[in-house]
Amino acid sequence: MNPGLGKFILAHTPSSIIHPTPKMNTGLSLNTGTEIPALGLGTWQSAPGEAKSAVAHAISAGYKHIDCAFCYQNEEEVGEGLAEAFKSGVKREDLFITTKLWCTFHTRVEEGLELSLKALGLDYVDLYLVHWPIPMNPKGNHPLFPKLPDGSRDLDHSTTHIDTWKSMEKLLNTGKVKAIGVANYSVKYLDDLLPHATVTPAVNQIENHPYLPQQEIVDYCRAKGIHVTAYSPFGSAGSPMMKEEGVLEVAQKHGVEPGTVLLSYHIARGSSVLAKSVTPARIDANRKLINLDESDMEKLESISKTKGFTRFVYPAFGVNLGFPDKQ
């Protein structure tokens, strides 16, 4: 096309067509050829008596993407919320359900998946993730967080996360997972894994917010065709990111809540995002996404540059996970 004509058309096309407002269920492409909905409901720390109603409410409010994990110890309740949604006419194929293999199950991948499927009341999940690249002793002194007598984490040195991935790949033939991926993988761990992977992870789920942009990992994943899902967008429990000055400024400019800015930040970066709430009004409010412009993104990106990094989620494994401490 004549470049002059191209410029003319671009200049006269409404910005809402060039940059359509992102929607909670906008599908973001995975390397499997399928899509993941832009916004998911998180369920970590959704307490007993809260998880079922949060999931049922979210689905009735239009959420299609629910993020779960064996380690959250609430999959049965999440399953009850899903069952309620199915009873009301929601179809399984219209939902995108993720769950995760816990660290004490790295040598029992199929068993880990079966336990989650049973608790959730599902025949398959849309995405199954290795929760952390750290195998822990399956026969230790605790089923989830085993420790050695000296108090350090009881790791399983007889296997590696690469062996785990090989078992994950086998799950694809069972029909019980539509896609497989990882979580909490730094560039160092992905560099370790990818040369051995027959199947490239579809997703890397990482802690991500303006205090922790993880640009290096986001760029690396993009280059390798791995979709990034951001977790703890509000800074996890108590939502500390909501009070950040730069976030409030952008929110005020657009006349929206800080939560909308914190969620939309990830969509602008091409990531999907998980927002946890058990409060119906917040579950509803978190559906709103907007387009952030370049100056908004610059403002949000400047936050970690001036204030440094904060990780809100970092369990003590006693292992260097390879996350950069400076960006």
Ligand X SMILES: NC(=O)c1ccc[n+]([C@@H]2O[C@H](COP(=O)([O-])OP(=O)(O)OC[C@H]3O[C@@H](n4cnc5c(N)ncnc54)[C@H](OP(=O)(O)O)[C@@H]3O)[C@@H](O)[C@H]2O)c1
Binding site for ligand X (CB under 6 A): 42-45, 67, 131, 183-184, 205, 231-239, 242, 259, 274-279, 282, 285-286, 313
Query: Token pair for residue 294?
Result: 């370049």
Least distance to ligand X, CB of residue 287, Å: 10
CB 188 within 8 A of CB 322: yes
Q: Is 185 a catalytic residue?
A: no
Least distance to ligand X, CB of residue 74, Å: 10
Q: CB-wise, 6 or 315, nearer to ligand X?
A: 315
The dihedral region occupied by 147, where left means phi > 0, alpha psi between -120 and 50, and beta the remainder, is: beta
The one catalytic residue in 72, 189, 220, 231 is 72
Least distance to ligand X, CB of residue 234, Å: 3
Q: CB-wise, 45 or 158, nearer to ligand X?
A: 45
Three-state SS string across 30-59, please?
Answer: CCCCCEEECEEEECCCCCCCCHHHHHHHHH
Q: What residues have CB less than 8 Å from 218, skipping those under 6 apart? A: 208, 228, 269, 271
Q: Which residue's beta carbon is nearest to the bound ligand X?
A: 42
Least distance to ligand X, CB of residue 293, Å: 22
CA neighbor of 223 nearest in space, from 191, 266, 253: 191
Q: CB-wise, 7 or 243, nearer to ligand X?
A: 243
Q: CB-wise, 89 or 234, nearer to ligand X?
A: 234
Host H or E run for residue 274: strand 272-276
Please give the positions annotated as active site. Answer: 72
